[in-house]
Amino acid sequence: MTRLVLVLGDQLSDGLSALRAADRDRDVVVMAEVADETTYVRHHPKKIALVLAAMRKHAARLRAAGWRVAYTALDDPDASGSICGELLRRAEEFGADEVLATTPGEWRLIDALRNCPLKVVFHADDRFIASRADFEDWASGRKALRMEYFYRAMRRKTGLLMEGDQPAGGKWNYDSENRKPPPEGIDHKGPMQFTPDAAVEEVLDLVEKRFGGHFGDLRPFAFATEPGQAKRALAHFIRHALPRFGDYQDAMMRGERWLYHAVISPSLNIGLLDPLEVCRAAEEAWRAGDVPLNAAEGFIRQILGWREFVRGIYFLEGRDYASRNALGHARDLPWLYWGGETRMRCMGEVVAQTRAEAYAHHIQRLMVTGNFALLAGIDPHQVHEWYLAVYADAFEWVEAPNTVGMSQFADGGIVASKPYVSSGNYIDRMSDYCGDCAYSVKAKTGREACPFNLLYWHFLDRHRDRFEGNPRMANMYRTWDRMDDEKRRAVLDGAETVLARLDSGEVV
């Protein structure tokens, strides 16, 4: 009996578990560009184009390898519009009664397959360095789940950056060396860019026609859409940017959208690159003397540590994780996140970059757009859906813990031991955004004071009962308490004015 083998748009890896369990001579691979997946949030056009173009090329590679592939294009008049609908249609066409599927990376899709009236046999997604069972074993019995200790366990497991049973250089973490402010100039032109071929241009035309109203610029489009391109992009990064990545990975600069970042996360998250191979390539560059240890370690930690950790959290915490709201924040997402006018230079820069590139690096996301949303008390589910929509690398297993947990503290402290909030001082130190901003980062009160300065203390004040006992926040509250009553009142009144202007739709 013929079986169907489902391959999703973020499962474009050679050797996918469902394919390994299939019989090339009798089974049929099902791939489908479905309307449901393009619109459950209003995805950035570049993200949609990336996934569709990479899917089409993957289908061609599978056919060349001898697989029968039943592929449904988005504009196919017979398309059902959903994953389950496509499986039912293909089951009738090929007389199949069973589906082999690699477990999706979102609870939404897992549940859709479980509710589909076909027998679906799930195979573990083993394209990660830690399996879900590995993470559950590590997490079992721990009072707190902290990435740093998981990361150390993963270093020991893989041997990456290890010298015997000790970390290379004598330290597990070189983060303290990776916080330099922006340099005077950048001697790197950014990630490798790929000119769209005919297959990609066809997708771009389709996306432009169907999703031209979504937030984001479709063209120019330069993402890797096949494994060979992704590997070339990785090699380019390791040779030209990784040596200085560590020093400046937290820096932000106007006019420099890439700095020394790899921008390979879209390729990793749709399956064009293998995470362990990426880590080993960085390690090899360090062992060859081409890359300093702080750069190799900082880069590897983002993949071996953070990426694996947040996936473990997502599945460990279950289906309701993305809807959590521990701080009870309920303000609607302001229009400035969708490109509305703002006087805040930092927010304007990051949102404009996001619109143009479907990309912003981790500090821009965490300490600019995320920090502002948290300080302003924006509904974390709306923030979650914004990040999921606007970034090309955003899939729920990786995006939700980063947003709901790390950025918005909406999980109550599962991912982060304290909220990642700051005044404008952090942004001023780590960027050149503040120099010609309409607001003054030095002003602590008054109409021209940086909104981050006002909202920072407002956040601490309104959540005092929750956070004043947190050892990592004690100094903040001591500073607040040392202010005289008049200054505290001026700060809180100024913050209330900012929030009222947000609520009324005024420019902030």
Residue that terminates a domain, selected from 75, 99, 123: 123
Domain membership flag for residue 235: no
Q: What is the rounded distance in angstroms from the CA atom of residue 429 to the CA atom of residue 273?
A: 34
Q: What is the DSSP string of 463-497?
A: THHHHTT-GGGHHHHHHHHHS-HHHHHHHHHHHHH
Question: Does any domain span residue 98?
Answer: yes
For residue 435, the model assigns a pLDDT of 92
pLDDT digits (tens, 9 = 90+) for 339-385: 999 999 999 999 999 999 999 999 999 999 999 999 999 999 999 99
- The answer to whether 418 and 405 have CB atoms below 8 angstroms apart is no
CATH, residue 71: 3.40.50.620
Confidence of residue 406 (pLDDT cuts 50, 70, 90): very high
Question: Do residue 267 and residue 398 come from a single domain?
Answer: no
Question: Vertex 20, ends 16 and 25: CA angle to 5°?
Answer: 120
Is there a single domain that holds both residue 308 and residue 408?
Answer: no
| pLDDT given at position 184 | 86
Residue with tokens 């780590």: 430
* Residue 209 within any structural domain of the chain: no
**What's the confidence (pLDDT) of residue 368?**
98
Report the pLDDT averaged over residues 129-142. Answer: 97
H or E element that contains 374: helix 371-376
User: Over 90: is that where the pLDDT of 175 sits?
Assistant: no
Same domain, 166 and 108: no
Residues 309 and 348 in one domain: no
Residues 456-480: tens digit of each pLDDT: 999 999 999 999 999 999 999 999 9
What are the tens digits of pLDDT across the range 285-325?
999 999 999 999 999 999 999 999 999 999 999 999 999 99
Q: Is residue 170 domain-resident? A: yes
Evaluate whether 289 touches 269 at the Cβ level (below 8 Å). Answer: no
Torsion 348-349-355-359 (CA) sign: negative
- pLDDT of the residue at 179: 86
Q: Report the SS3 class of residue 208.
A: helix
Q: Model confidence at 133, in pLDDT bands (50, 70, 90)? A: very high
H or E element that contains 29: strand 28-32
Residue 67 in any domain: the answer is yes
Q: What is the mean pLDDT of residues 408-435?
A: 97
Rounded CA gap, 445 and 488, in Å?
Answer: 9
CATH number of the domain residue 285 falls in: 1.25.40.80
Confidence tier at 436 by pLDDT (50, 70, 90): very high
Last residue of a domain, one of 283, 317, 351: 317
Tell whether 460 is covered by a domain.
yes
* Residues 173, 261 within the same domain: yes
> Prior bond to 196 cis, omega within 30?
no
Residues 367 and 491 in one domain: yes
> Are residues 413 and 382 part of one domain?
yes
Same domain? 427 vs 393: yes
Average pLDDT, the chain: 97
The CATH number covering residue 352 comes to 1.10.579.10
User: What integer is the mean pLDDT of 257-274?
Assistant: 97
What pLDDT, on the 0 to 100 scale, is given for residue 172? Answer: 97
pLDDT of residue 177: 84
- Domain enclosing residue 146, as ranges: 132-191+241-317
In this structure, the answer to whether residues 295 and 404 fall within a common structural domain is: no
Q: What is the mean pLDDT of residues 427-443?
A: 96
The number of distinct structural domains making up the chain is 3
The pLDDT score that the predictor gives to residue 484 is: 95
Q: What is the pLDDT of residue 471?
A: 93
pLDDT of residue 178: 85
DSSP3 helix / strand / coil % (the chain, rounded to 5): 55, 5, 40
The reply to whether 117 and 164 lie within a common domain is no
Residue 51 has pLDDT above 90, yes or no: yes
pLDDT tens-digit series, residues 206-254: 999 999 999 999 999 999 999 999 999 999 999 999 999 999 999 999 9
Residue 65 lies in a domain: yes
The answer to the question of residue 422 being in a domain is: yes
More confident: 183 or 380 = 380
pLDDT value at residue 94: 97
Does the pLDDT at position 185 exceed 90? no
What pLDDT does residue 1 have? 86
Average pLDDT estimate for 59-86: 96
Domain boundary among the residues 317, 350, 373 is at 317
The reply to whether 143 and 117 lie within a common domain is: no
Q: What is the mean pLDDT of residues 248-271?
A: 96
| Cα–Cα distance, 363 to 245 (Å, whole number) | 13
Are 159 and 38 found together in one domain?
no
